[in-house]
Amino acid sequence: MFGHIRCVLFDLDGTLIDSAADLGLAADEMRVARGLPSLPIEAYRAHAGAGARGMLGTAFGVTPEHAEFGALKEEFFDRYEQRMTRLTRPFEGVDQLLLTLTRQRIAWGVVTNKSRRFTVPLTATMSLFSAAGTIVCGDTTPHIKPHPAPVQEAMRQMNVSPAHCVYVGDDERDMQAGRAAGVATVAARYGHLGAGADVSRWLADAIIDSPIQLLNLFDTA
């Protein structure tokens, strides 16, 4: 499906790594500390892609416009920072996917909205990220996805043109950022999909149901 691909860029949470449990439990610890009953982790999973906004919305029903949201967000960040490597793991098949890309001489990197505060120490605990050509974080550029700037910065660092690049993510914002940057887009349907998400409406160039399926989209002849 995709010919002449030299580089694959990935979102992080929900695409390469399953971080829903650590994100959810950080928020749930806040509920319990306030005398509220614990919620099942699945209540948080569908909102993990929205980060603090999704976790606090699930835990307390608050939005960023709420007067206490700022203080809650900072507490959430502190709690998440303390536990972010406890349960987070690569999705099944990610190791094989990245190894195969490397063997096929297809460079790969990460473009995430997660800030350096969390991205750098988290990826440092997983040896697979040592082969990443770049890791662009949410505060690497002045903008975050769906703005194209982070994807464009990754391509600049890896010296690749949009015509030779694919971006893979589990959120509609990933597809919007990729399209705006002029690259092909692949929606990861196995990731941290938001509640009621209809992947078919994201206008992705392709959809995959597991990491390893990505390889079927490349013409490596």
Question: Which residues are annotated as catalytic?
Answer: 11, 13
Distance, first Cα to last Cα, the chain:
12
d(CA 50, CA 140) in angstroms, rounded, equals 19
Amino acid at 170: D
Cis peptide before 64 (omega within 30 of 0): no
Q: Pull the structure tokens for residue 57.
A: 């919305």
Biggest CA–CA distance in the chain, Å, is 60
Task: Give the strand pairing for 135-136 and 107-111.
Answer: parallel
Could you please report the per-residue DSSP string of 35-96? Answer: TPPP--HHHHHTTGGGHHHHHHHHHH---TTSTTHHHHHHHHHHHHHHHTTTS-EEPTTHHH
**Cβ–Cβ under 8 Å, residues 59 and 32:** no
